[in-house]
Structure 1
Amino acid sequence: MLEILAGVLGFIIIASLGWVFVGGEDSSTQALKRAEGMGVGRNISTRKTAAQANTPEARRKVIELQLKEAERRERKARMTMAAKLKHAGLAMKIRTFWIISGVLGTLAFLIPLVFGLNLLLAAGISIVFGLGLPRWVVGFIGKRRMKKFSSEFANAVDVIVRGIRSGLPVHDCFKIIGKEAPAPLGPEFRRLVENMSVGLTLPQSLDKMYERMPTPELKFFTIVIAIQQKTGGNLGEALSNLTTVLRARRMMAEKIKALSSEAMASAGIIGALPPVVMTLVFITTPAYMGLLFTDPRGQVMLLGAAIWMSAGVFVMKKMIAFKF
């Protein structure tokens, strides 16, 4: 009995050893295979994700996100008065601007009182010269500066395209534009090169440049550079296509300006007609128009007329200002 039991136990032990060394797997081996399987799954998932990212739909979504982010930055950049001073290229601080505005407003309030005008009319003139005029001047300078920048930007991109095709680095192309391009394009690219020289990356330097010059052309350029750095590709070809788009947009803008010139002329005539007629009547018959300036009721009427005329000019400007 003991011999039979010993034989059975010996068979079980030998069979177990054979299963372990030949057909069996320990927990570490199984864990290794599971890890390898998970790694293979991750590699397959990564390859699928990369393949999906290279599809036209994925690239379109990336471009839409870039456009939305750029539009959000543009709205934020245009809101504050400090940003408008940057757009105009003025080196003054925001505190200096408000001091100048306060001085102008105070003088515009005191001078009409000295000449005997109504207090309400003097307050209206003070608001116009203290708040409206300085902001309008800064906005006018900024728009003119951005217009000059946009008109020369396509030529600057052409310089970059030719430099890349001839083997020059992009940084050297920026230096050439900074030296050769007229203001404000040249100084802005010089500041771009300086920012890159102190350690900022190209996207960061372009973002700072966009804060100073929030134009659609620079926005498109920033998006092309960002997409090219993320996905790769031929930068020269991409920028060449960008110059074609920029010139097509400029031609469209000129066409829109030509088609809307009649509406702009009509709006200018309608807006200038009341002041011109009032001036002519005042020159021919000063006593007839003098009551509007000497009588308090006439002064209130003049203030109301100015407010209504301003509202009308604003509405007409919105009607003929086409966005594309």
Structure 2
Amino acid sequence: MTAAQAVVFLSIFVLCMACGFAALMILDRSRRVRRARLARAGMNRAAAHQNMRKLLWDQGSVVKPVAGDRRRSGLPGLLDERLAKAGLGLSPRALALLVLMANLGFVLVAAFAFGVNALLAIPLGIALSWLLVSGALSVLQARRIRSVIDSLPECLDVFARGLRAGKPIPEALDLVAQNAGGVAQAEFRTCCDEMRLGVTLPGALGGLASRIDTPEVRYIAVATSLQAETGGNLVETLDNLASLLRERHKLRKKAAALTAETRMSAAILSALPFVVGAVIYVMNPTYLAPLAQDPRGRVLALAGMASIAGGIFTMYRMARIDV
């Protein structure tokens, strides 16, 4: 494949992705605005009640889920949940359109540039596109959760100070929404808006715990809801949790410093095959031509890419320490 052909196929792929994004924005703009308005207005009360009931039931409470509550099930429900946790206002249809356009670009490049059979390229493209989209959603969700967890100790301090001043729990949560920043501010503000419009405290906190699906937020939701009903020293509980989160943050920073050399080595080793391949292609373009022109070379190239991907995944998993 010549440089001109590579530019043409890359342009086709970029054009397909651009068309997909344009169609996605046109078709989903009004729906995103409507969803954002409904979310801010707290119209998902039934879901919030159901989330809190399920949460309390999982934690061993006597509150049982209501059988009559209906939630979207199947693949659309799963996609809705993942998109909400990632902080995106897209619909499952828009996400499917994006995957379809990415698959179309992959099929065109694989069929015309590498001579891969279209019947093989289509399912391969669907799988690859879904893996990329799923990975992107996981990264966005993890980043959103990390942002909330990092600001959670300060939020708990504000919450505890409000309770010490004699404010009721809804007003103390409103103080958190006013003084927090970033993702945490948006989540606590949504929680307060739901309570202003009639959602109960357990329902609003259950919605918060379902959007930020971490043990810390679930613990805050359950402890606050139970102690609001039965009484208890909620301030001491919040202070202990804030202290624990700060200690975990220090330990996480220490682990990151200790594994910095390992992560740098993993990054260098991950980039090395691609850098060497680019240098060889620049110095002698015909040297790597059999990998694209010969059927056996294509098989070897795909096997090599799979092996490299497996090695990169293994190195980064070994370098990561969960705290």
Note whether the superposition's TM-score is higher than 0.5.
yes
Shift, 1:227, TM fit: 4.9
Separation in 2 of the partners of 1:222 and 1:246? 16
Q: Does 1:224 align with 2:217?
A: no
Separation in 2 of the partners of 1:284 and 1:67? 66
Shift, 1:124, TM fit: 8.0
What does residue range 150-299 of structure 1 map to in structure 2 within 5 Å? 150-229=149-228, 232-299=231-298
Q: Is the 8 A contact 1:118 1:296 kept in 2?
A: no
Q: Which residue of 2 aligns with 1:100?
A: 98
Q: Which residue of 1 aligns with 2:59?
A: 66
Separation in 2 of the partners of 1:116 and 1:155? 54
Separation in 2 of the partners of 1:118 and 1:67? 54
Range that drifts further, 265-274 or 108-117: 108-117
User: If each structure's helix is expressed as a fraction of its own residues, which one has the higher value?
Assistant: 1
Shift, 1:145, TM fit: 1.6
Q: Is the 8 A contact 1:292 1:298 kept in 2?
A: yes
Separation in 2 of the partners of 1:169 and 1:297? 71
Shift, 1:127, TM fit: 4.1
Q: Where does structure 1 lack aligned partners over 5 or more consecutive residues?
A: 1-62, 69-78
How big is each residue's C-alpha offset from its partner over 1:55-82, in whole Å with a ceiling of 9 and x where there is no partner? xxxxxxxx9x7399xxxxxxxxxx9333
Identity of aligned residues (%): 29
Q: Does 1:81 align with 2:76?
A: no
How big is each residue's C-alpha offset from its partner over 1:125-169, in whole Å with a ceiling of 9 and x where there is no partner? 724652122222222222212111111111111111111111222
Which of 110, 113, 130 pairs up with 1:112? 110
Q: Is the 8 A contact 1:160 1:173 kept in 2?
A: yes
- What TM-score do the two structures reach when normalised by structure 1? 0.70
What does residue range 127-146 of structure 1 map to in structure 2 within 5 Å? 127=126, 129-146=128-145
Separation in 2 of the partners of 1:280 and 1:145? 38
Q: Secondary structure at the match of 1:184?
A: helix
Larger Rg: 1
How big is each residue's C-alpha offset from its partner over 1:25-60, in whole Å with a ceiling of 9 and x where there is no partner? xxxxxxxxxxxxxxxxxxxxxxxxxxxxxxxxxxxx
Separation in 2 of the partners of 1:261 and 1:222? 35
For the structure 1 residues 270 and 285, does the alpha-carbon distance in structure 2 shift closer, same or farther, using more than 3 Å as the test? same
- What TM-score do the two structures reach when normalised by structure 2? 0.70
Q: CA RMSD in A?
A: 2.9
Letter in 2 for 1:219: R
Q: Which residue of 2 aligns with 1:147?
A: 146
Shift, 1:177, TM fit: 2.3
Letter in 2 for 1:282: Y
For the structure 1 residues 181 and 67, does the alpha-carbon distance in structure 2 shift closer, same or farther, using more than 3 Å as the test? farther
Q: Where does structure 2 lack aligned partners over 5 or more consecutive residues?
A: 1-55, 62-76
For the structure 1 residues 81 and 113, does the alpha-carbon distance in structure 2 shift closer, same or farther, using more than 3 Å as the test? same
Q: Which has the higher contact order (CA 8 A, sep 6+)?
A: 2
Shift, 1:172, TM fit: 1.4
